[in-house]
Amino acid sequence: MAREHSARDDDLPVVVRSLTVAYQQRPVLKDVNLSLPPGRLIGVIGPNGAGKSTMIKAILGMVPRLSGEVRIFGRPVAQARREVGYVPQRASVDWDFPTDVLDVVMMGRYGHLGLLRRPGARERSLAMEALEKVGMADFARRQISQLSGGQQQRVFLARALAQDARIYFMDEPFAGVDAATERAIIGLLTDLKARGRTVVVVHHDLQTVREYFDWLVLLNVRVLAAGPVERVFTPENLTHTYGGRLGSLALLAGAQPPARRSLGGD
C-alpha cells in the first residue's frame, strides 16, 4: 500500500497515516488518515477538545504518537524541519522575556543557521522584510512586553515568514486579535497562497470559515471529513463533527457566505 502512494507523496505537503495519540488512556486522536494538497489555505476545525492543536503538534513530532506515520513532502518530519514553519499559540511563551521584536523575528532563521553561526545582516534584512509584510516594521526595536495581543500575533507570523518555509502550521492565529491584525493575517495568508505555500490553520470560528479557507479538515478525535470547503462545509458534516449540539450549525453552513465583517476575532 505504501509503495502505491510514494510517487505522489513527494508532492504532498503532509501525508498522515493511522495516527493515534493518547494522553494517559484517553485517545485524543484516533486513526487519523490525511493527505493535504499543496498551495491551499487549509482550516482545521472541530469542537473544543477535538484534538486540533494536538494533531498539529503530533504532525510536527512535539507530542509522542502511539502509532502512525507522518510524511512532510515525502520525508520524515525530522528531515523536513526547514520546510516547516510553526506559529504557536500566543500564550505559550513568556512575553516578559528580555528581547525586542526584531530579535524574536530573527529567531525564525535559527534553524537555517545551524549551530554556532550567529545571525547577521542577511538575517536582519529578512526579518525586517517579514515585519513589513505584517505591518510591524515600526515596532522592530520595541520590547515585546509592550505589544498588544494582536501585535504579538503579528510578530509570531513575521517570525514564521522569516523562516521562509514551504508549509506553515498556525495554532489559532485569529484568537482574540483586533480587526487590524485580522486583516493583516488574511492578507498574509492570501500572499502565502499566491506564492504556492501551504498553510494549515487551527481555527474555531465557524462564521469565518468560508471567507478564510479553501480547504477544510473537520476533526473530532477522528477526521470526519476533509476536502474543498464547498464540498466539506455541509450541514451533515458539521453535525457529525459537532455531534449535533449546536442547532444553528446547519443554518450556518447552508447560508450564503456571510457579508464581510469588520469585527475582530470572536
Which H helix or E strand runs over 237?
helix 235-242
User: From residue 31 to residue 70, what is the string marking binding to another protein with x (rule CB under 8 A)?
Assistant: --------------------------x--xxx----x---
From the list 77-85, 128-136, 177-185, 196-204, the region that binds another protein by CB under 8 A is 77-85
Question: Between 1 and 263, whose beta carbon lies closer to another protein?
Answer: 1
| Contact (Cβ atoms closer than 8 angstroms) between residue 152 and residue 95 | yes
Binders in 2-31 for another protein, by CB under 8 A: 18, 25
Q: In this structure, what are the phi and psi dihedrals at residue 148, rounded to the nearest 5 degrees?
A: -80, 170
Q: How far is CA 123 from the centre of its chain?
A: 23
Rounded CA-CA distance 133/190 in Å is 12
Binders in 114-143 for another protein, by CB under 8 A: 115-116, 118-119, 143
Question: Between 154 and 208, whose beta carbon lies closer to another protein?
Answer: 154
Write out the three cell numbers for 77: 518530519
Beta strands in 51-111 (DSSP E): 67-72, 84-87
Nearest to 173 by CA among 262, 266, 87: 87
Q: How far is the CB of 240 from another protein (least distance, A)?
A: 6
Interface residue list for another protein (CB under 8 A)? 1, 18, 25, 57, 60-62, 67, 78, 81-82, 84, 86, 88, 92-94, 96-100, 104, 107, 110-111, 113, 115-116, 118-119, 143, 145, 159, 163, 222, 224, 236, 239-240, 243-244
